[in-house]
Homo-oligomer: A and B are copies of this chain.
Amino acid sequence: MQIDGVDQRIIASLVADARASYAEIGARVSLSAPAVKRRVDRLRAAGVIRGFTTVIDPAAVGWSTEAFVELFCTGRTTPAQITVATRRHPEVVAAYTVSGEADALVHLRAADIAHLEQALERLRAEPFVTSTRSMIVLSRLVDSPTVVPAPT
């Protein structure tokens, strides 16, 4: 799909504030509110905009312990296997296949260390996991929403 500079500026506005009104966004990009709505509808239909969500303070809802776990898997493990296995665990925030020593990197979030340990044990019990290496998050230094490069 074709995205022009105006679309990128609309996206940047929505990333900064998903509840901004169409008129408000229109004022920023020099467009009328209906024109903005049509572009947003088009971007949603095309899958560029996947949805609108809310940024929560993880500590406030109780799950404040995070870790990144490198997974080392058996030779014949497929990404699909890792996907279905990790999706089963509610503590998995994100998972990626990666280059380097490890086969996958899993981002975990749990209530506390005990909960994290329990989630990790469940992960390690997956049949294709040969070993893991964990990095427990001590503090979050930077956390930006999706980067939207400036229109050129």
User: Which A residues lie at the B interface, using CB under 8 A?
Assistant: 1, 3, 8, 11, 14-19, 46-58, 60-63, 66, 68, 70, 79, 82-83, 86-87, 90-100, 102, 104-105, 109, 111, 133-149
The reply to whether B17 and A147 form a contact with Cβ atoms under 8 Å apart is: no
Q: Measured between C-beta atoms, what is the minimum distance from A151 to chain B in Å?
A: 10
Question: Which of B52, B98, B140 interacts with A18 by CB under 8 Å?
Answer: B52
A91–B142 Cα gap in the complex (Å)? 11
The reply to whether A53 and B55 form a contact with Cβ atoms under 8 Å apart is: yes
Note all chain B residues with C-beta closer than 8 A to A147. 58, 61, 63, 90-91, 93, 109
30 contacting pairs across A/B (C-beta < 8 A)? A1-B60, A3-B60, A3-B61, A8-B61, A11-B56, A15-B53, A17-B53, A18-B19, A19-B19, A47-B57, A49-B54, A50-B56, A52-B54, A54-B146, A55-B146, A56-B146, A58-B147, A70-B135, A79-B138, A86-B142, A90-B147, A91-B147, A92-B142, A94-B140, A94-B142, A96-B141, A98-B135, A100-B134, A100-B136, A109-B147
The reply to whether B60 and A96 form a contact with Cβ atoms under 8 Å apart is: no
The reply to whether A17 and B136 form a contact with Cβ atoms under 8 Å apart is: no
Residue of chain B at shortest CB distance from A47: B57
The reply to whether B48 and A95 form a contact with Cβ atoms under 8 Å apart is: no
Note all chain B residues with C-beta closer than 8 A to A79. 138-139, 141
The reply to whether A56 and B149 form a contact with Cβ atoms under 8 Å apart is: no
